[in-house]
Amino acid sequence: MTVVVSDRVLAPVYRRAAANCKMPSNKSVSDAPITQLVNCRILRDHRLQREDLWVREGKILDPEKLFFDEKAYADKQVDCHGGIVAPGFIDVQINGGYGVDFSRASDDVGAGVALVAQKVLEHGVTSFCPTLVTSPTDVYHKVGRCPLPPLEPSTLTFATTPFQVLPEVKVDDGGGHGAGVLGVHLEGPFISVEKKGAHPERFLRTFRSGDLADLTQVYGSLDNVAMVTLAPELEGSLSAVRELRRRGVTVSLGHSVANLSQAEEAVRHGASFITHLFNAMLPVGRALPPTSRPPALTSCHVVQFHHRDPGIVGLLTSDRIPEGRSVFYGMIADGIHTHPAALRIAHRAHPAGLVLVTDAIAAMGLPPGRHTLGQQVIQIQGLHACLEGTQTLSGSIATMDMCVRHFKHASGCSVEEALEAASLHPAQLLGISHHKGTLDFGSHADVVLLDESLDVRATFIGGQEVWRKKPRKKTDL
């Protein structure tokens, strides 16, 4: 008879053993030090469990094998003081932050990405996809190159001859220098004119054939591209979907007036994501009555859900998704883009597909005022980011930890569901859940430590602590 003893049962044994021996007793596997996170609840197998987390060489270890096979113990213990240990957050749609606009030409694109990568650590983000909105072709790849003057907040001037951005964004695992870069998310320019939002119409494109030539003409190389958002109703889009999937690029549907049949056909050809569900899709909406308008806006429009053809939203409950395939969808849970009731509708219809995204712009982390999103000027008033002179929502100023907290509160979901929407689900979407987005044995030790209120206390990448919240200074009363 074989007796299986769970790690939960053995955890006290490991802790007592670790207390008695601080160095590995068996060096046959690795000389690298072992770190043990103790006094915590870890998110594994979709539930919070009272266990320790063991890390060596950036990977999560199986403590049973470590203890019984190697007879090895921790070199270092980190006391989590009863906190929650979850996989690091993954943001697949972030346009910038802290004054950095990923879609705006710069003489040092890498430095801008690095700044955002370092700053988002305090919000629990360990990996992200820098997102470029619809831009001139020579922002995507090298056509010309010229010096670019710094952005002046008073004038918000733009370079007349921008130079390449896309080739300068490099995939990176992350570490002490900042969160990892998983690849670029290209949102546009193959989107609907009717649902362009803040995307400049003059740079929108249609497909000629949908083959590789269409894509490379606009984007150049796709080597560092993780995701492309396109409108599936455009002629030639299905060929583009197939080509992108063949090259390992995730295809998302968004900024679109597609009906459900067109959306389902795109999924059958390889599309697997919906860009910011409910926003920039479905028929043109009606005006909100004055009493229902957000305080910061003088007027506002909402989309209308039509029961005879729910459009892309209908993918959440479609019965025509190929067997074995999943459709994921992004939600901007900032309290502005999506009503709490809409969050609940989406979550209850398809909880396993919900992916939290910030859709943050350069204004994230900065005071209200005038900022940029690519070629456009965005006005920040309160929590609203709108295209200047309009009431068109244009990205957000939310951070990922804010979205996690708001999503849990607004949807009524469990802590585990809220955390997995920011970690496991985006990893599954990008096909990297075998090493990111989970705390499974062998996964990368990209970890966020949170308190009971889901405020971030510390962030780890590859088991290395890369950010920790400073304790409050005591003040005299």
Q: Which residues are catalytic?
A: 359
28 backbone φψ class: left, alpha, beta (φ>0; ψ -120 to 50): alpha
Helix (H) or strand (E) holding 380: strand 376-381
Backbone angles phi, psi at 281, to 5 degrees: -155, 170
Q: Which two tokens stand for residue 76?
A: 């270092």
Helix or strand or coil: residue 353?
helix
Most distant CA pair in the chain, distance: 77
Beta-carbon contacts of 391 under 8 Å, excluding residues fewer than 6 positions away, are 297, 298, 299, 300, 301
For helices 340-349 and 400-411, what crossing angle results, to 10°? 80
CB 288 within 8 A of CB 310: no
Q: Residue 124 and residue 92: Cα distance in Å, rounded?
A: 14
43, 419 contact by CB (below 8 A): yes
What's the rounded Cα separation, in Å, for the pair 356 and 401? 10
- 9's enclosing H/E stretch is helix 7-20
Dihedral sign (CA 362, 363, 366, 367): positive
SS3 425: helix
Burial class of residue 419 in the structure, from the number of CB atoms within 10 Å of its CB (0-12 exposed, 13-18 middle, 19+ buried):
buried
Neighbouring CB atoms inside 10 A of 314's CB total 20
* Count, residues in the chain: 477
Are the C-beta atoms of residues 254 and 280 closer than 8 Å to each other? yes
3-state helix, strand, coil in the chain (%, to 5): 25, 25, 50
